[in-house]
Amino acid sequence: MELTYSNQLNGFDPEKRYRNPEHFDKPEAGVTSVLVIGDWPNVVDAYEAAGIDVSVREAKRVQMVGATNQAELEKVVATLRAEHGSIEILIGGLEAGEIHRPESGELALRLFDLLGTIHTSVGTLTTERDGLLSTVKALREELEVLKTATITPPADEASEIVALKAKLDEAKVPYRANASKDSLEKLVANLSGA
């Protein structure tokens, strides 16, 4: 099996097998030849030591847009590294459960500002949710009070209802089992008028 070591991001030949040399730790079994694209001496040395045929091809040079000389290129790379470092610090803080404003890095500062906006929005939503929960709890308590009030009449009214039902039972007048006090009083009033 032929294996190609390259850190390219595109342009892969579907007929070939690729490995990223940045993740190389030891030669793979069953490999008959290796093509290494770029400067990866650890890959070359390991396969040559294992007696595998190794070919090396120079990697394509990447043209940096806007960088005309080595000094400009180094400046761009330094800026990118600083940006990367600031973002890593920001992410590390978030993973630890805290957020700190980065000292530098345009992207890191923009990310910090957006996360602050998100944090504020989540705080507002949490406050509104908590307010709604307490309102719902109060409404449920009120509903339970109302249910109890309609099902169970006050003690003195309950005794009056029992007395009215007793008079109607004695007179053998039919009435509904859940009749209200007013309807029972009307039936008793009709008894005395009869």
Q: Give the residue carrying structure tokens 């990118």.
A: 80
DSSP 34-92: EEEESS-HHHHHHHHHTT-EEEEEPPPPPPPTT--SHHHHHHHHHHHHHHHHHHHHHHH
Lookup: tokens for 164: 């009215």
CA distance 168 to 176: 11
Q: Is this model's pTM higher than 0.85 or not?
A: no
Residue 46 pLDDT more than 90?
yes
Q: pLDDT at position 129, please?
A: 93
Arithmetic mean of pLDDT over the chain: 86
Q: pLDDT at position 18, please?
A: 94
Confidence band for 65, pLDDT divided at 50, 70 and 90: low
DSSP 16-45: SEEE-GGG--SPPTT--EEEEESS-HHHHH
Confidence band for 66, pLDDT divided at 50, 70 and 90: low
Q: Give the residue carrying structure tokens 């990367």.
A: 84
Number of H helices, E strands in the chain: 5, 4
Q: pLDDT at position 133, please?
A: 92
Among the listed residues 38, 40, 35, the one whose alpha carbon sits nearest the alpha carbon of residue 54: 35
The helix-helix angle for 70-95 and 106-151 (nearest 10°) equals 20
Residue 148 pLDDT more than 80?
no
Q: pLDDT at position 137, please?
A: 93
Confidence band for 150, pLDDT divided at 50, 70 and 90: low
List, in order, residues 6 or more apart from 42 with CB less than 8 Å away. Answer: 24
pLDDT in tens, 73-113: 788 888 888 888 888 888 888 888 887 788 878 888 888 88
Question: Given the DSSP bridges, would you call strands 2-5 and 17-19 parallel, antiparallel or unpaired?
Answer: parallel
Residue 193 pLDDT more than 80?
no
Q: What percentage of the chain has pLDDT greater than the value 90? A: 39
Q: pLDDT at position 32, please?
A: 93
Task: Between 70 and 133, name the one with better pLDDT.
Answer: 133
Q: pLDDT at position 49, please?
A: 95
